Structure 1
Amino acid sequence: MNPNFDLVIFDCDGVLVDSEVISCRAHAETLTRHGYPITSEQVLVRFLGVSDREARQTIEREIDRKLPDDFEQQVKAATLKFYEGDLQAIAHVGEAIGAIRLTKCVASSGTPEKIRHGLTCAGLYDQLAPHIFSATQVSRGKPAPDLFLFAAEQMKVQPSQCLVIEDSVPGVTGGRAAGMTVLGFHGGSHCQPGHADLLRAAGAAVTFDDMRQLPGLIEKIRV
């Protein structure tokens, strides 16, 4: 395995589990119910890769009022309900994880409960636990570098020795701001034509759309 890296940091939504469309649907339905009409597609464009906390703060600034105190809980409940019937792992990601011999962890904008539930529904939790980190553990979510730096610190690896797998512009931006190399994945069902270009423009060293490519890319990439 590539000696340039000691740790692979996976985003969760859109990289491990094909959940972005489901999450956007839950957000859109909850926001619309509270007087902020928005479609799933608009949520995807505006908030892909952004933590729930920071998305909420953005919306509250726009509407100049607070959303209900339990807004995140309402979104989470809707998301988990949809997960039960609709969530799938990203195709071939389990095999890719198994083929990568480097240490691995997860760094996600989701809450710990959402991450755990999603990975469990997709049959991936046991492959990655207990090294799972959430934006709720840091003061600033993506695109700030805090979550990636926290994950590296917890795993006792220097940022320059970390390889991040991300599907969103905020995630790529945060990984690069942390001084890490980022690979951009654009194979999730939410990814539109041109998404790879956006990831490269944000700083992804390489983009790919099939998880079967990932072990080989890690072997070849050089910092």
Structure 2
Amino acid sequence: MAGPALVIFDCDGVLIDSEALSASVFMEELALLGMEIDLDYFARNCLGRAFPSVRARLERDFGQALPEGFEAHYRTKLMTRFSRDLKVMPEVVEAIRRLDRPYHLATSSAPARLAQSLAITGLNTLFEGRCSTASEVRRGKPAPDLFLHVAALYDVAPQDCLVIEDSEVGIAGARAAGMRVWRFLGGAHLAPLAAALPQTPQDPALLGGADLAFDSFAQFTALLSAWPLRPLIQSSPFSGASK
């Protein structure tokens, strides 16, 4: 079988178009506490990270502790918004059904949030028994631990894995694991980058450290057939908070 032996998908911003919704609800809840952040802050410090590291960064930057129960309250509000507005990424179901190799989901989301997100979008049947979260490893993204954990589950060497990520945090984790990584730009939160993709596909700002970038899962099967497309980017150092 040509191509990667295992495909590892991030969830938020890759399988489901959730990141813009998450940012909106999170910013609204923080504003009620007098902690004003913008989309740039969210992208740099929250996107792709597990909540404990996000909490630590916010409390350090604002010099105040988040109240007890904030995470649970935020997640309740978010699930209410998800139940109304969350959508699966276009073409992703068809792309996964066409896969002729093992695949798995690796996310920084908490297990309960992941389960709810998959149920809302109907992806739970496709990913039953194929999910891992940062709660299963000592360090979340951008550390390589979660990706290496998934590879070990399938007894696949890191260099034979392909990771699909949207965030630079996730890309850094995949690279640190020694895996190829493609950046998906089709989520609403990355629309400005996706708009520039046809003109500047090799722009470092679009790649974010990935081997290539794409914005539609309609392209995915064709891209896999051209694997590996370019030499493997070598592992790089990372910095990030522990899970």
Please tell me the residue identity of whatever aligns with 1:208.
Answer: F
Show the counterpart of 2:207. 200
* 1:171 CA displacement: 0.8
1:214 pairs with 202, 210, 220, which one?
Answer: 220
Q: Distance in 2 between matches of 1:16 and 1:23?
A: 14
Q: Which structure has greater helix proportion?
A: 1
Q: 1:30 to 1:139 in 2, by over 3 A?
A: farther
Aligned to 1:63: 62
> Would you identify which runs of 4 or more consecutive aligned residues in structure 1 move more than 6 Å?
none
Aligned to 1:22: 21
The answer to whether the 8 A contact 2:12-2:19 is kept is yes
Asked if the contact 2:158/2:178 (under 8 Å) is kept, the reply is yes
Tell me, in whole angstroms, the C-alpha distance in 2 between the residues paired with 1:65 and 1:36: 9
d(CA) in 2 for partners of 1:199, 1:138: 29
8 Å Cα contact 1:110-1:135 kept in structure 2: yes
1:200 alignment partner AA: L
Q: Is the aligned partner of 1:74 residue 2:73? A: yes
Q: Please give the alpha-carbon distance, in whole angstroms, between the structure 2 residues aligned to 1:88 and 1:108.
A: 17
Count of aligned residue pairs for this structure pair: 221
Q: CA RMSD in A?
A: 1.7
Alignment of 1:168-187 (within 5 A): 168-187=167-186
Q: CA deviation digits over 1:178-199, x for unaligned, max 9?
A: 0100011101111042366435
Q: Which residue of 1 aligns with 2:238?
A: none
Distance in 1 of aligned mates of 2:32 and 2:102: 43
Structure 1, unaligned stretches of length 5 or more?
Answer: none
Structure 2 gap ranges (5+): 198-202, 233-243
123-132 or 36-45, which deviates more: 36-45
**Alpha-carbon distance between aligned partners in 2 of 1:199 and 1:76, rounded to the nearest angstrom:** 30
TM-score, normalised to structure 2, is 0.85
Instruction: Give the conservation status (yes or no) of the 8 Å contact 1:111–1:136.
Output: yes
Matching residue's letter, 2:160: Q
Normalization by structure 1: what TM-score?
0.92
- Structure 1 counterpart of 2:183, one-letter code: G
Please tell me the residue identity of whatever aligns with 1:220. A
Does the aligned pair in 1 maintain the 2:193–2:206 contact within 8 Å? Answer: no
- Equivalence map 1:95-174=2 (5 Å): 95-174=94-173
Task: Write the distance in 2 (CA, Å) between the matches of 1:40 and 1:206.
Answer: 24
C-alpha distance in structure 2 between counterparts of 1:104 and 1:135, whole Å: 17
